């Protein structure tokens, strides 16, 4: 019921949704990067860079709106935390993509592919909860999806630990070990930021009931 009486500035929700969509697009490109041939990788990395630039612009516009809006849809600190955490997701995706390019990794492991797919699943659920924020009548759905994000983050932790154990055990090239460790940890970091978003959103739901 609370959501029906919530004072709101509509553009905040537009910015959140637009940013969340870019998060999903970047994660989709990251999955594509995992199976791309060396000749296709630069174009995909460039696409992710472009998405990150667009996401940064939305973040700056949201913060600027925050400074000029008298009535906000919810707590100002929460708005700032939400848009910042969303931006951290895209930044982390860009970091992984640029790491793959910088390290000149030509073939990604099945573990890296699985981690990227988990990050995509996480970002899709982030987009869902962000899209429901302007209607707290959907609080149960939001909470359920937040639980799914937390489970995916735990799954990603588990896969990363197995992947690190495998690369330390089986890889004979020390430089390759360093490279893949950085990629695995970068992929896991993406889901950490997704969980950060879910915590902010869940906190807003709790405040509304």
pLDDT band at 130 (very low <50, low <70, confident <90, very high): very high
Model pLDDT, residue 2:
40
Q: According to DSSP H, which parts of 8-75 are helical?
A: 10-34, 41-68
Considering the domain boundaries, does residue 195 fall inside one?
Answer: yes
pLDDT tens, position by position, 33-89: 999 988 999 999 999 999 999 999 999 999 999 988 888 888 899 999 999 999 999
Give one DSSP letter per residue of 57-96, joined into a string. Answer: HHHHHHHHHHHH-SS-SS-HHHHHHHHHHHHHHHHHHHHH
Considering the domain boundaries, does residue 134 fall inside one?
Answer: yes
Spatial distance between the Cα atoms of 176 and 181, rounded to a whole number of angstroms:
8
The reported pTM is: 0.92
Considering the domain boundaries, does residue 161 fall inside one?
Answer: yes
**For residue 172, which phi and psi values (nearest 5 degrees)?**
-95, -15
Spatial distance between the Cα atoms of 13 and 187, rounded to a whole number of angstroms:
27
Considering the domain boundaries, does residue 2 fall inside one?
Answer: no
The count of structural domains within the chain is 1
Considering the domain boundaries, does residue 15 fall inside one?
Answer: yes
Please indicate whether residue 38 or residue 25 has the higher confidence score (pLDDT): 25
Considering the domain boundaries, does residue 3 fall inside one?
Answer: no
CATH code at position 37: 1.20.58.220
**6 membership: H or E segment, kind and range:** none
Considering the domain boundaries, does residue 88 fall inside one?
Answer: yes
User: What average pLDDT does range 96-101 have in this prediction?
Assistant: 96
Considering the domain boundaries, does residue 49 fall inside one?
Answer: yes
Spatial distance between the Cα atoms of 127 and 194, rounded to a whole number of angstroms:
10
pLDDT band at 1 (very low <50, low <70, confident <90, very high): very low
Spatial distance between the Cα atoms of 142 and 84, rounded to a whole number of angstroms:
20
In terms of residue numbers, what domain contains 122? 8-208
Spatial distance between the Cα atoms of 16 and 95, rounded to a whole number of angstroms:
22
């Amino acid at each position: 019921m609370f959501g029906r009486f919530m004072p709101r500035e509509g553009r905040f929700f537009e910015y959140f949704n637009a940013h969340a969509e870019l998060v999903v697009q970047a994660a989709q490109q990251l999955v594509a990067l995992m199976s791309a041939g060396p000749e296709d990788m630069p174009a995909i990395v460039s696409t992710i860079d472009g998405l990150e630039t667009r996401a940064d612009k939305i973040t700056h516009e949201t913060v600027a709106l925050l400074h000029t809006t008298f009535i906000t849809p919810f707590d100002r600190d929460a708005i700032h935390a939400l848009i910042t955490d969303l931006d951290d997701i895209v930044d982390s995706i860009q970091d992984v993509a640029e790491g793959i390019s910088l390290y000149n990794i030509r073939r990604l492991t099945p573990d890296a592919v699985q981690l990227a797919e988990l990050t995509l699943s996480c970002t899709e659920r982030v987009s869902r909860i962000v899209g429901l924020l302007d209607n707290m009548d959907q609080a149960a759905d939001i909470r359920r999806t937040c639980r799914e994000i937390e489970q995916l983050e735990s799954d990603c932790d588990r896969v990363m630990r197995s992947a690190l154990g495998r690369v330390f055990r089986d890889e004979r090239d020390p430089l390759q070990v360093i490279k893949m460790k950085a990629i695995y940890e970068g992929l896991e970091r993406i889901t950490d930021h997704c969980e950060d978003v879910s915590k902010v959103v869940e906190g807003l739901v709790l405040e509304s009931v």
